[in-house]
Chain A
Amino acid sequence: MSKFDRRGFIKLAGLGGGIVFVSSLGHGLGLNALGSILDHANGKVENDFYFVQLSDTHWGFAGPKVNPDAEGTLKKAVQAVNSLEEQPDFIVFTGDLTHTTDDVQVRKDRMSQFKDIVGALKVPTVHFMAGEHDASLDRGDAYQQAFGKLNYTFDHKGVHFIVVDNVSDPGAIVGESQLNWLKADLKQQKADARIVVLTHRPLFDLYPDWDWSTKDGSAVIDALMPHKNVTVFYGHIHQENHHMTGHIAHHSAKSLMFPLPAPGSVPKKSPVPWDASAPYKGLGLRSIEAELKQAKYEIKELNVTGA
């Protein structure tokens, strides 16, 4: 099994703010590999911390050709996180917690089942956000009942986190009201404040023909631009993508249900079929290491097993 050295994380400093990804969910499901990373964390600086990002779990999805372990993958990821020797400070789920359904009761049931599964996480602090599968058909009604607000902020060890909702409007719009809220929040932050934006859809036009954009995302980016240290983590596209808009880095996460093809690589977007020779290929979670002394983050990609 491969081992991750915390210092050997892929440095993405050039992608804005310096972030190391660890993404896992590959062949076999032991999380010892990620645990081993943390064994090397001897040089940890006070106030450095790490958190884990999970995304696009699509609880309720059924499609054996895409993921024959649809009911087991999320549970394996929970076990993987729980097996980390050093637990993250918190966990974020960047949307599409559940797979969409027209049936309101089924939607609520899926959210309830999802909460039960992730309730097994040892880490007490978990921040949720909605994806269009959770919130677009009822403008976030069931989601808010189950998980709370659609957009909010929180602070952790000197980093200001902003959760932006670009899904509860089915037209993939942040909206003027939320933009005003965002601008008011940013006004309270210094120009060099460390800011992390968590959202579901890309804020930039990654591939609009596949719905991989936010119609007024440029207004969000414009509002963030005066701040020097901004990094965006998002989901939605079920694969890693790293992109810069000016000095702002945008990093998408893998899914925990099915991968999607590279932007525009096929005529029609549809899930990548399951590869029996490489189970869980293309799925994963991510740890994000915040090295505050150096005002940077390091990100590592992990497969489901943590390998």
Chain B
Amino acid sequence: MNHKKRILITGTLLVSAILSGLLIHSRAEAVPAERVIHITAKKFDFSPDSITLKKGEPVVFEISSADREHGFNLRAFGVRTNVSSGKVSRIRFTPDKTGKFTFSCDVFCGDGHEEMTGTVIVTE
């Protein structure tokens, strides 16, 4: 391989590397990594029952039940799911406002159902 050809290939690879780097960077900006939070529901509480999130940070709640069917409802962000034992239920959302927001079980599960709540805190 002569010298000129070597320079051309090297230059092409360099440009490709720079472009793909830019591409990866722009993709990373467009789709930030989701933060995964595991939540366990059982009669009559959620664990954890206080979850702190950042505004604009995409999250996935992976919710499972340790006993019977429950519900998970975070009304402030319009997300809910049924939660059955032996199965992981997922909800995805990106908090678009700050504050303290209540989530609750919305599938009647017994005597302590009405106190089965938790809090999402969204910070800047």
**CB within 8 Å of B: which residues of A?**
99-102, 132, 136-137, 167, 170-172, 208-211, 215, 268-270
Q: Besides A136-B108, A211-B108, 7 other CB < 8 A contacts?
A: A99-B111, A102-B110, A137-B110, A167-B108, A172-B106, A209-B102, A270-B115
- B82, B106, B108, B117: the one contacting A137 at CB < 8 Å is B108
Question: Which B residues touch A210, using CB under 8 A?
Answer: 114
In the complex, B57 has a CB within 8 A of chain A: no
Instruction: Please measure, in the bound complex, the distance between the C-alpha atom of A167 and the C-alpha atom of B108, giving whole angstroms.
Output: 9
- A101, A132, A171, A268: the one contacting B117 at CB < 8 Å is A268
Q: How far is the CB of A5 from chain B (nearest CB, A)?
A: 39
In the complex, B104 has a CB within 8 A of chain A: yes
Question: Contact at A171–B75, with CB atoms within 8 Å?
Answer: no
In the complex, B39 has a CB within 8 A of chain A: no
Most buried by B among A101, A171, A208: A171
Instruction: Please measure, in the bound complex, the distance between the C-alpha atom of A171 and the C-alpha atom of B82, giving whole angstroms.
Output: 9
Q: How far is the CB of B115 from chain A (nearest CB, A)?
A: 6
In the complex, B69 has a CB within 8 A of chain A: yes
Question: Which B residues touch A101, using CB under 8 A?
Answer: 111
Question: Contact at A171–B102, with CB atoms within 8 Å?
Answer: no
- A171, A208, A209, A270: the one contacting B107 at CB < 8 Å is A171
Q: How far is the CB of A24 from chain B (nearest CB, A)?
A: 26
In the complex, B71 has a CB within 8 A of chain A: yes
Instruction: Please measure, in the bound complex, the distance between the C-alpha atom of A100 and the C-alpha atom of B109, giving whole angstroms.
Output: 10
Question: Contact at A172–B108, with CB atoms within 8 Å?
Answer: yes
Question: Which A residues touch B71, using CB under 8 A?
Answer: 171
Question: Contact at B108–A170, with CB atoms within 8 Å?
Answer: yes
**1/0 contact string of B76-92 vs chain A (CB within 8 Å):** 00000010000000000
Consensus secondary structure, chain B interface? mixed
Instruction: Please measure, in the bound complex, the distance between the C-alpha atom of A119 and the C-alpha atom of B83, giving whole angstroms.
Output: 40
Consensus secondary structure, chain A interface? loop
Q: How far is the CB of B45 from chain A (nearest CB, A)?
A: 12
Given contacts A136-B108, A211-B104, contact A269 B69 (CB under 8 A): no
Nearest A residue to B111, CB-CB: A100
Instruction: Please measure, in the bound complex, the distance between the C-alpha atom of A100 and the C-alpha atom of B104, giving whole angstroms.
Output: 19
Question: Which A residues touch B104, using CB under 8 A?
Answer: 209, 211
Instruction: Please measure, in the bound complex, the distance between the C-alpha atom of A253 and the C-alpha atom of B115, giving whole angstroms.
Output: 22
- B69, B75, B110, B114: the one contacting A208 at CB < 8 Å is B75
Nearest B residue to A270, CB-CB: B115
Instruction: Please measure, in the bound complex, the distance between the C-alpha atom of A170 and the C-alpha atom of B109, giving whole angstroms.
Output: 8
**1/0 contact string of B50-89 vs chain A (CB within 8 Å):** 0000000000000000000101010100000010000000
Instruction: Please measure, in the bound complex, the distance between the C-alpha atom of A165 and the C-alpha atom of B111, giving whole angstroms.
Output: 20
Question: Contact at A170–B69, with CB atoms within 8 Å?
Answer: yes
Question: Which B residues touch A100, using CB under 8 A?
Answer: 108, 110-111
Instruction: Please measure, in the bound complex, the distance between the C-alpha atom of A269 and the C-alpha atom of B115, giving whole angstroms.
Output: 7
